């Protein structure tokens, strides 16, 4: 079983990593190509490209300007520990044992606009580049792609297929957002995709509430890792923060988990 999650905008590179082990991203050459183009943009152009504030534009222009192609534990941090958004809060990585990191390294993948596909212990340097970003073609002449989806093309799907073959398994658990999962081509995947959905009871019906759903996706990822789950049926046993499997609302490969107010 392979679990997919999205990266986070919130990062923590100030807190020392509690583990020394790390690995290198598989697509650093592609990442470097993106960075070389993006560092040619001014802070104002980066703000416009990413639709972010002037302050964040300056921050990310500086990040691209200081990005280095050689990664080690002095200038980078393991992805699973660097990302600090809602999904990662739900995962509660600070409670992981060494064996949890081992299982996660084999079975968890983080989709990234800049790095393509990351293993949990792959080193990353600070960045922001969402997968849905439309590349300003006239200002990035070194890129033939109009979007990051085009830039990564089939590479991410091929990588997931290789990992499934290595694990001798045929199941992908999609806990990534639509923006990031769109970078994958399901028809080319050599396995079935199962998508857990988390809904809360509000105003007389079950609804997806983004903040809660993100945290729940992180809790589900942690549940799979800590219980070493490799059978998709066992995912239905997930019960945390009041969520439980709802057989009536579930359909096909969409497993719905609900909770009351």
| Strand positions, DSSP E, 9-138 | 77-78, 108-112, 116-118, 123-124
Tell me the mean pLDDT in the region 51-76: 94
Using the 8-state DSSP alphabet, how is residue 33 labeled?
H
The pLDDT, as a whole number, for residue 145 is 87
Among 69-73, 102-106, 212-216, which is the least confidently predicted range? 69-73
| pLDDT for 58 beyond 70 | yes
* pTM of the predicted protein model: 0.96
| Tokens 């997931």 belong to residue | 160
The pLDDT, as a whole number, for residue 144 is 83
Kindly state the greatest CA–CA separation across the chain: 54
| Chain segment 118-148, per-residue pLDDT in tens | 999 999 999 999 999 998 766 677 788 889 9
Among 25-29, 72-76, 193-197, which is the least confidently predicted range? 72-76
The pLDDT, as a whole number, for residue 89 is 96
The pLDDT, as a whole number, for residue 137 is 63
Query: Given pLDDT bands bounded at 50, 70 and 90, which one contains residue 86?
Result: very high
- Produce one character per residue of 113-126: b if its CB has 16 or more CB atoms within 10 Å, e if not: bbbbbbbbbbbbbb
Question: How many Å apart are CA 21 and CA 74, to the nearest integer?
Answer: 13
Question: How many Å apart are CA 18 and CA 93, to the nearest integer?
Answer: 10
| Chain segment 197-231, per-residue pLDDT in tens | 999 999 899 999 999 999 999 999 999 999 999 99
Q: Tell me the domain boundaries of the chain.
A: 2-24+78-129+153-259
| Chain segment 158-182, per-residue pLDDT in tens | 999 999 999 999 999 999 999 999 9
Question: How many Å apart are CA 103 and CA 97, to the nearest integer?
Answer: 10
The pLDDT, as a whole number, for residue 142 is 79
């Amino acid at each position: 079983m392979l679990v997919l999650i999205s990266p986070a905008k919130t990062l923590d590179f100030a807190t020392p990593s509690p583990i020394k082990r790390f690995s290198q991203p598989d697509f650093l050459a592609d990442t470097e190509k993106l960075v070389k183009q993006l560092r040619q943009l001014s802070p104002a152009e980066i703000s416009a490209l990413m639709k972010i504030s002037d302050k964040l534009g300056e921050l990310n222009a500086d990040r691209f300007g200081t990005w280095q192609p050689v990664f080690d534990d002095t200038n980078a941090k393991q992805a699973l520990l660097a990302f600090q958004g809602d999904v990662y809060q739900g995962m509660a990585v600070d409670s992981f044992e060494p064996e949890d990191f081992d299982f996660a390294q084999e079975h968890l993948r983080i989709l990234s606009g800049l790095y393509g596909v990351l293993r949990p212990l792959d080193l990353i340097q600070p960045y922001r580049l969402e997968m849905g970003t439309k590349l300003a073609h006239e200002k990035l002449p070194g890129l033939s792609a109009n979007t990051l989806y085009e830039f990564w093309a089939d590479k991410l799907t091929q990588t997931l297929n290789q990992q499934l073959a290595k694990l001798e398994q045929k199941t992908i658990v999609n806990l990534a957002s639509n923006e990031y999962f769109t970078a994958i081509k399901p028809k080319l995947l050599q396995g079935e995709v199962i998508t857990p959905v988390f809904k809360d009871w509000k105003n007389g019906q079950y609804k997806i509430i983004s903040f809660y759903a993100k945290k729940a996706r992180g809790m589900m990822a942690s549940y799979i890792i800590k219980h070493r789950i490799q059978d998709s049926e066992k995912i239905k046993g997930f019960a945390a923060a009041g969520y439980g499997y709802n057989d009536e609302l579930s359909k096909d490969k969409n497993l719905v988990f609900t909770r009351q107010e």
